[in-house]
Amino acid sequence: MLSVHTSPLHQPGTGDAGGMNVYIVELSKRLAELGTEVEIFTRATASELPPTVELAPGVLVRHVTAGPYEGLIKEDLPAQLCAFTHSVLRTEAGHRPGHYDVVHSHYWLSGQVGWLAADRWGVPLVHTMHTMAKVKNASLATGDKPEPAARIIGESQVVEAAHRLIANTDEEAEQLASYYGARLDQLAVVHPGVNLEVFRPATASPTGPVGDAVSDPRATGESVREIRARLGLPLDAVVLLFAGRIQPLKAPDVLVRAVAHLLDEAPELRERLVVPIVGGPSGSGMARPEALHKLAAQLGVCDVVRFQPPVGQEQLADWYRAATALVMPSYSESFGLVALEAQACGTPVVAAAVGGLPVAVRDGETGFLVSGHDPASWARVLRRFVDNPELGARMGAAAARHASAFGWEAAARATADVYADTIERARFTTGQVTVATAR
* HSE-CB for 23 with a 13 A CA cutoff: 28
The per-residue pLDDT for 206 is 39
The per-residue pLDDT for 438 is 40
Same domain, 310 and 368: yes
CA dihedral 267, 270, 273, 279 (to 10 degrees): 110
Domain that holds residue 361: 224-403
Same domain, 433 and 395: no
Same domain, 230 and 377: yes
Q: Do residues 336 and 355 make contact, with C-beta atoms less than 8 angstroms apart? A: yes
On whether residue 182 sits in a domain, the answer given is yes
CATH number for the domain spanning 378: value is 3.40.50.2000
Same domain, 160 and 285: no
Task: Write the CA distances from 412 to 25, 35, 78, 348, 415, integer angstroms.
Answer: 11, 11, 30, 26, 5
Chain segment 121-130, per-residue pLDDT in tens? 999 999 999 9
Q: Which residues of the chain have pLDDT under 50?
A: 205-209, 211-214, 285, 430-439
Task: Write the CA distances from 28 to 8, 85, 225, 232, integer angstroms.
Answer: 10, 21, 35, 35
Strands of the sheet with 164-167, listed across from one edge: 52-56, 59-64, 38-43, 2-3, 103-106, 125-128, 164-167, 187-189
On whether residue 218 sits in a domain, the answer given is no
Q: Do residues 52 and 433 make contact, with C-beta atoms less than 8 angstroms apart? A: no
Q: Beta-carbon neighbour count of residue 191 at 10 Å? A: 18
The per-residue pLDDT for 10 is 80
Distance CA 125, CA 5 (A): 18
Same domain, 394 and 417: no
Q: Euclidean distance between the first and final Cα of the chain, in Å?
A: 21
Same domain, 241 and 126: no
On whether residue 366 sits in a domain, the answer given is yes
On whether residue 36 sits in a domain, the answer given is yes
- DSSP-assigned states of every residue in 199-267: S-PPPP-SSSSTT-S---TT--S--HHHHHHHHT--TT-EEEEEES-BSGGG-HHHHHHHHHHHHHH-G
Q: Which residues are annotated as a binding site for UDP-N-acetyl-alpha-D-glucosamine?
A: 11-12, 19, 245, 250, 311, 333, 341
How many domains does one find in the chain? 2
Q: Which residues are annotated as a binding site?
A: 5, 11-12, 16-21, 74, 107, 131, 151, 245, 250, 311, 320-321, 323, 333, 341, 347
Q: Which residues are annotated as a binding site for Mg(2+)?
A: 320-321, 323, 347
On whether residue 208 sits in a domain, the answer given is no
Same domain, 77 and 181: yes
The per-residue pLDDT for 211 is 47
Same domain, 240 and 127: no
Sign of the alpha-carbon torsion through 272, 278, 283, 288: positive
Same domain, 395 and 415: no
